[in-house]
Amino acid sequence: MKLWWLRNETVMCQLASGHYFLNTDISPHKIWFTSDGLAEALVQLQQRYRFDGILINQPGRPDSILDRAVSIEDVADGEMITWDSGETTLTPWKMK
Protein backbone atom coordinates (compact mmCIF):
# COMPACT_ATOMS: atom_id res chain seq x y z
CA MET A 1 0.00 0.00 0.00
CA LYS A 2 1.37 3.37 -1.03
CA LEU A 3 0.80 6.30 1.36
CA TRP A 4 0.60 9.84 0.02
CA TRP A 5 -0.54 13.28 1.12
CA LEU A 6 -3.51 15.06 -0.38
CA ARG A 7 -2.51 18.22 -2.18
CA ASN A 8 -5.98 19.77 -2.37
CA GLU A 9 -7.71 21.11 0.69
CA THR A 10 -11.19 22.53 1.00
CA VAL A 11 -11.11 26.31 1.21
CA MET A 12 -14.03 28.29 2.61
CA CYS A 13 -14.26 31.65 4.32
CA GLN A 14 -16.99 33.55 6.15
CA LEU A 15 -16.78 37.05 4.73
CA ALA A 16 -18.11 40.13 6.50
CA SER A 17 -21.28 41.77 5.17
CA GLY A 18 -19.31 44.92 4.41
CA HIS A 19 -17.09 42.88 2.11
CA TYR A 20 -20.15 42.01 0.01
CA PHE A 21 -21.10 45.70 -0.21
CA LEU A 22 -17.61 46.84 -1.19
CA ASN A 23 -16.61 44.04 -3.54
CA THR A 24 -19.66 43.22 -5.67
CA ASP A 25 -21.68 45.21 -8.17
CA ILE A 26 -24.94 44.56 -6.30
CA SER A 27 -26.77 47.42 -4.57
CA PRO A 28 -26.27 47.19 -0.79
CA HIS A 29 -30.01 47.25 -0.08
CA LYS A 30 -30.47 44.20 -2.30
CA ILE A 31 -27.73 42.30 -0.45
CA TRP A 32 -29.07 43.22 2.98
CA PHE A 33 -32.81 43.00 2.40
CA THR A 34 -33.31 40.32 -0.29
CA SER A 35 -32.39 36.65 -0.29
CA ASP A 36 -31.67 36.77 -4.04
CA GLY A 37 -29.25 39.70 -3.64
CA LEU A 38 -27.37 37.95 -0.83
CA ALA A 39 -27.20 34.69 -2.80
CA GLU A 40 -25.89 36.53 -5.87
CA ALA A 41 -23.18 38.25 -3.79
CA LEU A 42 -22.15 34.94 -2.19
CA VAL A 43 -21.83 33.24 -5.58
CA GLN A 44 -19.90 36.17 -7.13
CA LEU A 45 -17.34 36.14 -4.32
CA GLN A 46 -17.11 32.33 -4.19
CA GLN A 47 -16.25 32.33 -7.88
CA ARG A 48 -13.86 35.28 -7.62
CA TYR A 49 -11.86 33.75 -4.75
CA ARG A 50 -12.26 30.17 -6.02
CA PHE A 51 -13.64 28.89 -2.72
CA ASP A 52 -14.80 25.27 -2.74
CA GLY A 53 -18.14 26.16 -1.19
CA ILE A 54 -20.30 28.88 0.25
CA LEU A 55 -20.93 29.54 3.94
CA ILE A 56 -24.26 31.33 4.30
CA ASN A 57 -23.96 33.52 7.39
CA GLN A 58 -27.25 35.43 7.24
CA PRO A 59 -30.85 34.19 7.32
CA GLY A 60 -33.14 34.59 4.33
CA ARG A 61 -35.42 37.61 4.08
CA PRO A 62 -39.18 37.80 3.50
CA ASP A 63 -39.88 38.37 -0.21
CA SER A 64 -42.07 41.39 0.49
CA ILE A 65 -39.80 43.31 2.88
CA LEU A 66 -38.91 46.01 0.32
CA ASP A 67 -42.61 46.60 -0.33
CA ARG A 68 -42.51 48.61 2.91
CA ALA A 69 -39.85 50.95 1.49
CA VAL A 70 -41.27 54.34 0.50
CA SER A 71 -38.03 55.39 -1.23
CA ILE A 72 -34.47 54.25 -1.83
CA GLU A 73 -32.10 57.12 -2.62
CA ASP A 74 -28.39 57.33 -3.37
CA VAL A 75 -26.68 59.58 -0.80
CA ALA A 76 -23.00 60.41 -0.27
CA ASP A 77 -22.45 57.55 2.19
CA GLY A 78 -24.59 54.89 0.53
CA GLU A 79 -28.26 54.22 -0.03
CA MET A 80 -30.90 55.73 2.26
CA ILE A 81 -34.06 53.68 2.60
CA THR A 82 -37.15 55.41 3.97
CA TRP A 83 -39.73 52.97 5.33
CA ASP A 84 -43.49 53.37 5.53
CA SER A 85 -43.07 53.91 9.30
CA GLY A 86 -40.98 57.03 8.62
CA GLU A 87 -37.78 55.41 9.90
CA THR A 88 -34.67 55.33 7.73
CA THR A 89 -31.86 52.87 7.12
CA LEU A 90 -28.48 53.72 5.60
CA THR A 91 -26.80 50.88 3.70
CA PRO A 92 -23.16 51.78 3.00
CA TRP A 93 -22.00 52.18 -0.56
CA LYS A 94 -18.72 51.35 -2.21
CA MET A 95 -15.71 53.32 -1.04
CA LYS A 96 -14.55 55.93 -3.51
Instruction: Tell whether 12 is covered by a domain.
Output: no
Res 1: pLDDT:
63
Question: What residues make up the domain containing 82?
Answer: 17-92
Distance separating alpha carbons of residues 88 and 11, to the nearest angstrom: 38
Residue 24 domain flag: yes
Select the more confidently predicted residue: 56 or 41. Answer: 41
Judge whether 2 lies within some domain.
no
Percent of the chain with pLDDT over 90: 52
Q: What is the pLDDT of residue 6?
A: 65
> What is the distance between the terminal CA atoms of the chain, rounded to a whole angstrom?
58
- In-domain check, residue 11: no
Classify residue 1: in a domain, yes or no.
Answer: no
Q: Sign of torsion, CA 16 96 79 40? A: negative
Number of separate domains in the chain: 1
